[in-house]
Amino acid sequence: MAAPPLDGLEVSELAYAYDGALAVRNVSLVVKPGEIVALLGTNGAGKSTTVGMIAGVLRPPRGPIRFADQPLTGSPSHVVVRRGITLVPEGRLVFPQMTVMENLQLGAHVKPRSQLAALVQHAFSLFPRLSERRGQLAGSMSGGEQQMLAIARGLMAEPRLIILDEPSLGLMPTVTQELFRLIQTVNGSGISVLLVEQNLHQALRIAHRGYVLEKGEVVLAGTGKDLLADAYVQRAFLGR
């Protein structure tokens, strides 16, 4: 695989096993600067395991990970964050008994305190609804608002690449549409996005490129438009 441009992510032949059973077998992918790249597949395909290895939550026994032309393989998650990659995990995982503002402050733990006010203001400019709820407990907000908070908290570390794991999970269709518009806005601010999604139609509609996983391996790769029109994708995932 050709090396990505400066600030790009390159993952080559990743593998990971749980209790001896391979969940990821041979995954390679690239995210170029400024791209939205979708990582797609059914439950159990290896999507969350793959991004967990990239984010330093899991340590791959095999397969190099490079970001901004520097090795990341085996780095713990706090090092990965400092290097410019943030993971927004599946299920949002906001702190329910803390306010919106307190959740955002936690997201900025790797940044100097002198930058906190500017980072919060930037988050509120992207997500105005959170500004209105800055003193509200996160657990009292709707699922869509909690997902906005989870993404905003991830952005507080000023990542160059943000990984979103199933951001639309459990959300109503109208909220999902708004969420995908917000993802495009985040990307438009210069941040690359690796998007793990089961909502293939919405994900491929906004993605520059995508990869389809099946049983821990990449079985298809291409532009978002090409994958959306692919007969296998339409049959296997869109019921057509």
Per-residue pLDDT of the chain (240 residues; tens, 9 = 90+): 444 445 699 999 999 999 888 899 989 999 999 999 999 988 888 999 999 999 999 988 888 999 998 899 889 999 999 999 999 998 778 999 999 999 999 898 888 888 999 999 999 999 999 999 999 999 999 998 999 999 999 999 999 999 999 998 888 888 899 999 999 999 999 999 999 988 888 999 999 999 999 999 999 999 999 999 998 888 877 665
Residue 172 sits at φ, ψ, to 5 deg, of: -70, 155
**Measuring CA to CA, how many Å separate 213 from each of 1, 57, 74, 203, 217?**
18, 20, 22, 14, 5
The residue count of the chain comes to 240
Q: How high is the pLDDT of residue 42?
A: 84
List the beta bridge partners of residue 212. Answer: 40, 220
Using an 8 Å Cβ cutoff, are 30 and 208 in contact? no
Among residues 234, 183, 237, 174, the alpha carbon closest in space to that of 208 is found at 183
Instruction: Output b/e per residue, 208-224; b: 16+ Cβ within 10 A.
Output: bbbbbbbebbbebebeb
Q: In 3D, which of 150, 160, 163, 139 has the Cα closest to residue 104?
A: 150
What 8-state DSSP symbol labels residue 208?
A: S
d(CA 84, CA 170): 28
Residue type, 41: G
Task: Report pLDDT for 44.
Answer: 86
The position carrying tokens 């996160």 is: 138
Q: Hey, what domains does the chain have and what are their CATH numbers? A: 1-84+160-240 (3.40.50.300), 99-158 (no CATH)
What are residue 164's DSSP bridge partners? Answer: 88, 195
In order of 8, 139, 179, the CA distances from 36 in angstroms are 12, 29, 14
pLDDT at 93: 84
Give the 3-state secondary structure of residue 170: coil
Task: Give the phi and the psi of residue 39 in degrees, each rounded to 5.
Answer: -115, 110
